[in-house]
């Protein structure tokens, strides 16, 4: 059995994926035409050629520009449903999706159009493909905390359909402390909280996310390797890291996948998970990330299975569903050699 075949049959959860970062070029151009949005590219090839980034901000500039094609509720439905269909093909049983409403409402898009489109697609994916999913709303860290708090209040009609809140966007100049009150309010309301930290920011941003924001998970977290006591704390408390190797490569956070800290942190006992981040922009969905790590970091089948188990341990899901998913991983490990590619 090849690594690709093993990964294809491995049940997994994906916990770090931005809905707006999953618009494939063909859908992007269709939405632009559908909504009469003028864009700089006429073909899929031209658009893909633009996906060359020097750093996070370079990517974000294109990312926010790309959001302009999302106008109506159906647009948000279509991009979310297409991602969940692809996730199902990658044998993702459960997905937790990031959404940044501020990038849309500031363009004049009604919040209801955003939420109803995304949540409707998530319901359709569950009904049609049995993929469970949850929504985590991100505050954009280049904006003010007051704006984040206003967003939190505006989302009240949908509280019962949200998993939690988080923090995304460019880290440089936007430390976690800037959003301490926002995170306190989110926790007070009973939501799970997560934060992007240690992608371009220092280990101190990871520590502040854990100790000041009291996050349930750290998104990325690469820079924690620069602080051995922090690594020990993350391992001891089993605070998960949602790592995104191909994203890190594409944004030049790492020079090559074999330089990624994922294996070192896995061996140090951390709850490391593998995710795709913005798959259409970075050229790799979750299975592509697993295979790239296997090839570059020398992961064996048990390592890959441990990463998949970690994804369910770290997921914000009912315990019975978690136990069932992990049992399916163990079953795949047992029978994968004899019946390659078979699924339940």
| Both structure tokens of 182 | 């926002």
| Both structure tokens of 97 | 């999706």
In the beta sheet, which residues pair with residue 197?
220
Please say whether the beta carbons of 131 and 125 come within 8 A.
yes
Please say whether the beta carbons of 7 and 330 come within 8 A.
no
Phi-psi region of 214 (alpha: psi -120 to 50; beta: other; left: phi over 0): left
The Cα 123–Cα 81 span in angstroms is 9
- Collapsing DSSP to helix, strand or coil, 84 comes out as helix
Catalytic: 188? no
E strands, 230-293, are 241-243, 272-274
The residue among 299, 311, 296, 301 whose CA lies nearest residue 333 is 301
E strands, the chain, are 12-18, 92-99, 132-140, 164-168, 192-197, 217-220, 241-243, 272-274
Which residue among 199, 211, 319, 342 is the active-site one?
199
The Cα 59–Cα 52 span in angstroms is 8
| Both structure tokens of 50 | 């633009």
The Cα 222–Cα 265 span in angstroms is 9
Q: Tell me the catalytic residues.
A: 199
């Amino acid at each position: 059995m090849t690594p690709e075949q093993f990964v294809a049959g491995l049940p997994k959860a994906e916990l770090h994926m931005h809905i707006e970062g999953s618009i494939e070029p063909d859908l992007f151009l269709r939405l632009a035409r559908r909504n009469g949005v003028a864009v700089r590219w006429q073909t899929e090839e031209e658009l893909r050629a633009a996906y060359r980034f020097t750093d996070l901000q370079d990517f974000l500039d294109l990312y926010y520009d790309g959001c302009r094609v999302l106008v109506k509720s159906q647009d948000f439905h279509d991009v979310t449903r297409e991602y969940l269909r692809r996730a199902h093909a990658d044998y993702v049983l459960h997905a937790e999706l990031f959404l940044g409403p501020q990038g849309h409402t500031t363009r004049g898009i009604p919040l209801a159009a955003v939420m109803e489109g995304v949540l409707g697609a998530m319901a359709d994916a569950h009904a049609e493909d049995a993929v469970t999913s949850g929504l985590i709303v991100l505050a954009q860290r280049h904006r003010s905390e007051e704006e984040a708090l206003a967003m939190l209040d505006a989302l009240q009609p949908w509280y019962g359909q949200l998993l939690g809140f988080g923090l995304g966007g460019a880290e440089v100049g936007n430390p976690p402390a800037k959003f301490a009150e926002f995170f306190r309010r989110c926790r007070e309301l009973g939501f799970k909280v997560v934060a992007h930290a240690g992608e371009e920011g220092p280990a101190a941003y990871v520590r502040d996310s854990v100790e000041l924001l009291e996050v349930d998970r750290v998104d990325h977290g690469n820079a924690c390797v620069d602080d051995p006591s922090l690594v020990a704390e993350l391992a001891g408390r089993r605070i998960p890291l949602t790592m995104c190797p191909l994203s890190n490569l594409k944004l030049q956070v790492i020079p090559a996948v074999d330089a990624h800290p994922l294996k070192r942190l896995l061996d140090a006992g951390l709850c490391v998970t593998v995710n795709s981040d913005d798959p259409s922009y970075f050229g790799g969905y979750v299975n592509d990330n697993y295979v790239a790590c296997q090839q570059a970091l020398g992961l064996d089948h048990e390592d890959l299975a441990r990463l998949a188990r970690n994804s369910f341990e770290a997921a914000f899901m009912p315990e019975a569903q978690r136990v069932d998913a992990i049992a399916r991983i163990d079953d795949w490990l047992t029978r994968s050699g004899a019946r390659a590619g078979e699924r339940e």
